[in-house]
Structure 1
């Protein structure tokens, strides 16, 4: 009998699947649809302090092998999502939830963490250090000094379970440097990866780019990024303290992709582009496909194969 239960920090979930922040999590209606689905839990849209309209349309496009987007952090503001997760805490049927924040400055991030700290929110907070789609704003996580400063400040004021969302890294030395920084802090988890930044899709028939913001440059998702996502999950699992869990994100289309993320070392797995394409019903298919694959391989729990990818 296959058991998909997984743990992250001190929390337990019925299965490892959830949405990627930014997908099907903008409104309370969408969040409720995720809760009603077969996802193990959910994460809210990355919030700024106040409502934000985001970049001009079209800012997302499905592509044959995935997607490209430059959303610009559209969201309803921190209070909207904080009220939602607090309102669900009294429901025994609701799993622990993830609340994502992505300020446009370190000061804004710290202000939002301070607000959450004052509440009785008992889920997990995710600090998005990887926001490649805000014009003129660099990613904090590509600046190692800024990352360390951010985490120093964050943990001086924030004492609830905290994870960080990271962009993809492409050099083994970057994995070494970043892991050494992350290992200094009592992080509950890391989430790797965000979209692969500044891709460009060109429609040859119309001779145009696919999206409007940033002249067409945007974050890639879907099958395009699966190998990069798996590399980041595995590289960090090899380097991080064992008590820091990993959420694997990127390129999941089917149960085999979920299996690969867990084999690489992920404790939980997020779904973005495929959720955007299929809607919350995707979680029913993915859990069934993962269950079928584990049954074929005679694995009964995720721990039977987590992090056990073989090298040649």
Structure 2
């Protein structure tokens, strides 16, 4: 029986588990429509703030041999722009998967305000709360502050009744996996997204003896092949610690069908592609779909559920 990539996630069925990572190819309606027309199983908007943001000064993104470095600073078209788009899309495409909607307020008050507006709106899809942007000068990553994360989720779930996931930064210590999982398990979260880029890396152009991005004196988030082992570790750590009804979206270093297979083997239910989508464009989803099916056929798997989460230990 040939491999099927059909994926069930939060009571929806998707043709495959592939999505864009928020921040890549999702700034404008045109880019979102290109994702909608691509082979991606689902797609997500740029993380929205209340008002339009220009983001950090350019150059703020650089492709490097094993991935990328960026210090974008949350450029986006503003909350209303994306909310209007996702509601219009769900109305014009009945029966199709509704785009995921990402928000990233600059404060607890702003996050609560944005989520209140989503709760009151006609949006029927899934919201992702970004707790892990590493590239806004002067703003620490919220999800490294465990008390603040708990405070936000306490406040959110007093009123928010729609499906909500959170995007997390990478963690590097078992104690941190344990602590964050204990916090997350208290709430009716739909999913966690592991991981955002590894914050505050530095890449150097040896010929110029210079950094390659302008903001923050060259410090930026690292993505691509560099971060796959860290991403896989975070997917696995949370898959084995979270309540079974909290799903995992795997993000980080997905360049080939094999990378996708590894994320799924660690327990991811959906997969987001960032750096390689930036480099290759939306045609990457057709290639990833083909390559993942080939691996599954070689191994005799007809569905993802036959191997998802079944990573073996020695």
TM-score range, shorter chain: over 0.9
Identify the residue that residue 16 of structure 1 maps to in structure 2.
Answer: 17
Identify the residue that residue 272 of structure 1 maps to in structure 2.
Answer: 274
Identify the residue that residue 232 of structure 1 maps to in structure 2.
Answer: 234
Partner deviation per Cα, 1:5-46 (whole Å, 9 max, x = no partner): 112222221100000000000000000000110000100000
TM-score with structure 2 setting the length:
0.98
Identify the residue that residue 50 of structure 1 maps to in structure 2.
Answer: 51
Conservation of the 8 A alpha-carbon contact between 1:21 and 1:44: yes
Conservation of the 8 A alpha-carbon contact between 1:8 and 1:189: no
2:34 is the counterpart of 1:33 = yes
Conservation of the 8 A alpha-carbon contact between 1:11 and 1:96: no
Q: CA deviation at 1:94?
A: 3.1
Conservation of the 8 A alpha-carbon contact between 1:196 and 1:221: yes
Conservation of the 8 A alpha-carbon contact between 1:43 and 1:100: yes
Provide the secondary structure at the position in 1 that maps to 2:192. Answer: strand
Q: CA deviation at 1:214?
A: 0.3
Q: CA deviation at 1:157?
A: 1.7
Distance (whole Å) between structure 1 residues aligned to residue 69 and residue 225 of structure 2? 11
Conservation of the 8 A alpha-carbon contact between 2:89 and 2:98: no
Distance (whole Å) between structure 2 residues aligned to residue 106 and residue 231 of structure 1? 29
Conservation of the 8 A alpha-carbon contact between 1:165 and 1:192: yes
Q: CA deviation at 1:96?
A: 2.5
Identify the residue that residue 3 of structure 2 maps to in structure 1.
Answer: 2
- Cα distance, 1:35–1:46 mapped onto 2, change above 3 Å: same
Conservation of the 8 A alpha-carbon contact between 1:25 and 1:43: yes
Distance (whole Å) between structure 1 residues aligned to residue 298 and residue 245 of structure 2? 30
Q: CA deviation at 1:93?
A: 5.6
Distance (whole Å) between structure 2 residues aligned to residue 26 and residue 232 of structure 1? 27
Identify the residue that residue 98 of structure 1 maps to in structure 2.
Answer: 100
Which shows bigger deviation, 169-178 or 87-96?
A: 87-96
Q: CA deviation at 1:92?
A: 2.7
Identify the residue that residue 248 of structure 1 maps to in structure 2.
Answer: 250
Identify the residue that residue 165 of structure 1 maps to in structure 2.
Answer: 167
Counterparts in 2 of 1:1-312, with a 5 A limit? 1-90=2-91, 91-92=93-94, 94-312=96-314
Distance (whole Å) between structure 2 residues aligned to residue 7 and residue 105 of structure 1? 33
Which shows bigger deviation, 6-15 or 21-30?
A: 6-15
Distance (whole Å) between structure 1 residues aligned to residue 220 and residue 79 of structure 2? 24
Q: CA deviation at 1:174?
A: 0.3
Conservation of the 8 A alpha-carbon contact between 2:256 and 2:288: yes
RMSD: 0.7
Distance (whole Å) between structure 2 residues aligned to residue 11 and residue 122 of structure 1? 12
Provide the secondary structure at the position in 2 that maps to 1:206. Answer: coil
Conservation of the 8 A alpha-carbon contact between 1:88 and 1:94: no
Conservation of the 8 A alpha-carbon contact between 1:43 and 1:97: yes
Conservation of the 8 A alpha-carbon contact between 1:131 and 1:139: yes
TM-score with structure 1 setting the length:
0.99
Equivalent residues, number = 312
Provide the secondary structure at the position in 2 that maps to 1:89. Answer: helix
Provide the secondary structure at the position in 2 that maps to 1:306. Answer: coil
Conservation of the 8 A alpha-carbon contact between 1:102 and 1:128: yes
Distance (whole Å) between structure 2 residues aligned to residue 205 and residue 38 of structure 1? 39
